Amino acid sequence: MKEPGPFDRMLESSASQDRSARLILIGMGILGLILLILVLPPFSVLSGGGGSTPGTTSTASRKLPKVPEGYEALSALMKLDKPKASGPYSLTVSLIEQVTEGRNLGLYTSKGGKWERLAAATLVNNGNAAKGEVAEMPANVAVLRRTSSAVQITGWLASGGQIDPRALGVLGSINPVDYTPNAEGGLVGSLTALPASEKANVLPTVRASTAKEIEAVNAILASPQMRDTHINALLQVALQQGNAGIDIDYQKVSPAQKPDFTAFVTVLADRLHQSNRSLTLTLPAPVKAGVAWDTGAYDWEALGKAADAVKIVPEPDPSLYYQRMSEVFNNFLKSKIDLKKVLLVIGSQSREKGSDGLRVLSLRDGLTLASAIEVRTSSAITPNSSIVLVGKNIFEDDGATGLRWDDVAFSVAFSYPGRGGQRTVWLENALSVAFRLDLAKRFGLGGVAIESVGLDPDGPDIWEPIRTFTETGSVSLAAANGVLLRPVWQSQAGAIEAGQKGNVVWKAPAQPGSYDVSLIISDGVIRAAQKIILEVRQAGASPSASATPTARPAGSPTSPTATPTVRPP
């Protein structure tokens, strides 16, 4: 009998073979489904408590609504059911394909054909999914990536400085402040090395800020030969590999050199453009003098035509900022320059104003002033005695205002009697920066320039409103919650009887020893505390009190519920 060949076996059609084949196919299908569920879940939710949220289901929408210009969709649109558990919720959404670049990702929801950003998203599962946290469960969610910015965001980085990681992905251009002009028309300095992951355009800044540097600029402008030498030096820097152009910050040029400065910028811009490089300028805001405008050495109309962007340094006094800048944009710049070329300079520095003028200070310094403690009881601190303590610079009975929201400066502020009379401190943070961003939006400016994008442990975190502004061209406005601005007193031991005006009566414990009493204040975004150490001694012993005047965070920064407020005029 002939031995069956391999093809004969394949063509056999016995019932047992059909059943085996079907069982194998069914088994493979079930195994594939299990692997798909285990490896790539289309959507998952964790409640704020960290456990799975029961009752939450999701289905992929067949049709993804059109995404906004400058964005791309990286996932399907997942329709969601309302979960039983309360938020916040950690959402993980599977991506259409593996993604290796994690910048500019966000969770978005579609409402009536319009997209709304929910939260930032980060890659997980080896780039096969993205994860973010939302306070409320949306009806649907998708992962979008911003591919271009709605506005221009530039930022200065001090020479040799380390860029704030929160700025990465937000900045379109970085300006390392690496060069200064010298008296011969050349440049002094060398370029700062930036992170390899930073993909922003690099335009090194040449800045003249000292008297010697300003004198050198005026001498350069006055000599056509030195102007040419200076232009050639600037071109050499701009044409270095990795540089997209040059940024000029000569804010104190002599008004007598106005024609020379215009000629210098015009020639420099032409030569840069011939080499496909850009020129940006930083100029002080013009000042209204009667019915005329004093522009100093700067012809805004001519410079606006030559440069690719002009950064305007605004009014420094917070109490005058919005009034004066509105006048500048409405009554002067609108007729002189395309406002899309104008970038508003914003920063993170707080300010104090007194009879001796304005001074810049960090947020930490401002919080330290606000939380200073003073002992107002002159008698000995003995067991069970009552000690009066006050917030030295917020105690209202001394003429201070306490922390409050300033509806003119649109920031948290406090006034107190100090050197030279009444002094006022305005605290710059994410809330106040949002109003400055809104000013740029309302006047149709091209974007903003950040005074410093370097790491600053004493400064506020201003990046969330800037990121939102970058992605959408707008920003949410809110005043600080008034409840959070009320001072809070805490004691290590003893009893506290807090007043309503920044004061407290502390009843000392029955046992002698050293005890802490802390004053906790807030700028509406984070809390800070300052403490005083009080020595409780038996009657007859000499009292002593020592303070440690260093503001320190009293726990993790919080994002309190904010009260909406009207926008500036």
Segment 468-481 shows an average pLDDT of 90
Least confident of 39-48, 448-457, 483-492: 39-48
366-394 pLDDT, tens digit each: 999 999 999 999 888 999 999 999 999 99
Residue 285: band (very low, low, confident or very high) from pLDDT cuts 50, 70, 90 = very high
Q: Is the dihedral of CA 343, 347, 353, 358 positive or negative?
A: negative
Long-range CB contacts (within 8 A, 24+) of 132-135: 132/90, 132/91, 132/106, 132/107, 133/88, 133/89, 133/90, 133/91, 134/87, 134/88, 134/89, 134/91, 134/107, 135/87, 135/88
Residue 545: band (very low, low, confident or very high) from pLDDT cuts 50, 70, 90 = very low
Residue 487: band (very low, low, confident or very high) from pLDDT cuts 50, 70, 90 = very high
Nearest to 245 by CA among 200, 185, 304: 200
Long-range CB contacts (within 8 A, 24+) of 221-228: 221/253, 221/257, 221/260, 221/261, 221/264, 222/257, 222/260, 223/185, 226/184, 226/185, 227/185, 227/260, 227/263, 227/264, 227/267
Nearest to 332 by CA among 302, 287, 290: 287
Query: What was the pLDDT predicted at 16?
Result: 44
Six token digits for residue 350: 């707080």
Question: What percent of the chain is modeled with pLDDT above 90?
Answer: 66
- Give the dihedral of Cα atoms 509, 512, 513, 514; nearest 10 deg: 50
- Average pLDDT of the chain is 85
Residue 489: strand pairing partners: 519
289-335 pLDDT, tens digit each: 888 999 999 999 999 999 999 999 999 999 999 999 999 999 999 99
Instruction: Provide the 10 A C-beta neighbour count for residue 123.
Output: 20
Query: Is there a contact between 310 and 343 (Cβ–Cβ < 8 Å)?
Result: yes
Query: What was the pLDDT predicted at 196?
Result: 66
Question: Per-domain residue ranges for the chain?
Answer: 43-146, 152-355+423-472, 357-422+480-553
43-67 pLDDT, tens digit each: 555 544 433 344 444 566 657 888 8
Question: Max CA-CA distance within the chain?
Answer: 123
Query: Is there a contact between 366 and 348 (Cβ–Cβ < 8 Å)?
Result: no
Query: Is there a contact between 358 and 316 (Cβ–Cβ < 8 Å)?
Result: yes
Which architecture, in CATH terms, is 357-422+480-553?
Sandwich (2.60)
Q: Is the dihedral of CA 120, 123, 128, 134 positive or negative?
A: negative
Angle at CA 243, nearest 5°, toward 240 and 248?
Answer: 105
Reading phi first (left if > 0) and then psi (alpha if -120 to 50, else beta), residue 126 is in left
Six token digits for residue 555: 């726990």
Break the chain down into helix, strand, coil percent, rounded to 5. 25, 35, 40
43-146: in CATH 1.20.1630.10: no
Nearest to 345 by CA among 315, 307, 308: 315
Cα–Cα distance for residue pair 170/104, rounded to 1 Å: 8
Residue 347: band (very low, low, confident or very high) from pLDDT cuts 50, 70, 90 = very high
Q: Are strands 205-207 and 173-181 parallel, antiparallel or unpaired?
A: parallel
DSSP code of residue 50: S
Give the DSSP H or E segment for 568.
Answer: none
Cα–Cα distance for residue pair 443/567, rounded to 1 Å: 13
In the predicted model, is pLDDT for residue 168 greater than 90? Answer: no
Residues, the chain: 569
140-153 pLDDT, tens digit each: 999 998 777 778 99
Six token digits for residue 304: 């606006």
68 or 40, greater pLDDT? 68
Segment 429-445 shows an average pLDDT of 97
Six token digits for residue 463: 């990046």
152-355+423-472: in CATH 3.20.20.80: yes
